[in-house]
Amino acid sequence: MSIGYTRRDMLQFLGVSAMSMSIPKRLQDAQKDGKGKKAAGKPLTFFGWSDTHIPVHGDGSKLWPAIDAMNKLPDKPYPKNIGGIVDTPTFVFNCGDITEWPTHQAKKTYEDLITKRLRYPSYEILGNHDEAGADGVEGAPPIMKEWFKRRYGDLSYTFDQGGIHFVCPFSAYDESLGSPAQNITTEAMDFIRKNLHRHYSPDLVPEKLISIPQGRPIVVAMHLCFDAMTNRDAFVDALGDTNVIMVLGGHYHKAKVGSYRDVNFVQLPSVNSAWSEVTVIRITSDRLVAIPYDYSKGQWVDDREKILNVKISK
């Protein structure tokens, strides 16, 4: 869809390259976490959001309420049917479309927000707007791709936290199709197959790749949500018989959950929508909970189509 700027307007916002940024130490530590260790018994809590769509001028004010809400969520009681209180999250995950169009101003705003305003570490994947800009706009600068490679070493990566193996593949988006629903690319599915049981790092030669124990719980994160995947059966086939407990997605700007062929799909909410929500995810030894919190109303969402509360095998 149009974002109200011409390609020439966009290019006026582009300046010199940003300073290099090394792979975060937390990512290096997270990669080491899976080396021969058993899954941790302590629950893993993290927060999820997506499609933040920071505009080309870099105005991030629309993200402030969501970030401030996430900063205040720890110690908040869950609904009675879930029980307990929200732990301090190990990290926050953004499922892509970080920017509306990849400018240096938008990138810097996001960097500042996740390092200066947000109190927790942040992981992310790229979305179609970060990759190629708005619908129909070609020739977008590789600002977000270059930033991402400096941050994670490549466009696809893996990490481990709390005894969970996270696989985060990049799936290229084809703007020429003119449709928000697309295939997960062959390259992305190949990355998933190859890295469900190992850590991927461009800094490691193949013979030194760290293996992940069989049966380790796995979370796969994509930008495209389940409803946007036009080759969902091939995608699920790529997961094989591994212990994938959840697939995260964004793209459609609304929290939603579902199950397909025994795989749990959790679609994360967007600040660029009619819903003021962030999703809280808690993984215990035998249960997976994903529930959005409405920060404009100061209450948990009670829409069953948005809440996942299921048994798992960890």
What secondary structure letter does DSSP report for 206?
G
Q: Tokens standing for 248? A: 């995260």
Q: Note the pLDDT of residue 212.
A: 80
What pLDDT was estimated at residue 22? 36
pLDDT at res. 227: 97
At 267, give phi and psi (nearest 5°).
-95, 125
- Which tokens belong to 309? 């509360």
pLDDT value at position 30?
54
Q: How far is CA 188 from CA 87, 116, 167, 180, in A?
A: 32, 32, 10, 17
CA atoms of 153 and 131, how far apart (whole Å): 16
Tokens of 189: 């599915």
CA quadruple 11, 13, 18, 24: dihedral sign? negative
- Residue 93: burial class (beta carbons within 10 Å; 0-12, 13-18, 19+): buried
CA distances, 113 to each of 52, 69, 247, 300 (Å): 11, 13, 26, 24
Q: Radius of gyration of the chain from Cα atoms?
A: 18
Amino acid 137: pLDDT:
54
Distance in angstroms (rounded) separating the CA atoms of residues 55 and 177: 24
pLDDT per 10-residue tile (average), the chain, 314 residues: 38 34 49 46 93 96 98 98 97 96 95 97 96 61 93 94 95 91 97 88 56 89 98 97 96 97 97 95 97 98 97 80
pLDDT at 119: 98
> What is the pLDDT, as a whole number, of residue 39?
43
**What pLDDT, on the 0 to 100 scale, is given for residue 16?**
30
What the chain holds in terms of domains, given with CATH numbers, is 42-311 (3.60.21.10)
- DSSP class of residue 147 equals H
pLDDT of residue 176: 86
**pLDDT at position 17, please?**
30
CA distances for 99 relative to 33, 94, 177, angstroms? 30, 11, 21
The whole-number pLDDT of residue 140 equals 73
Q: How far apart are CA 282 and CA 271, in angstroms?
A: 21
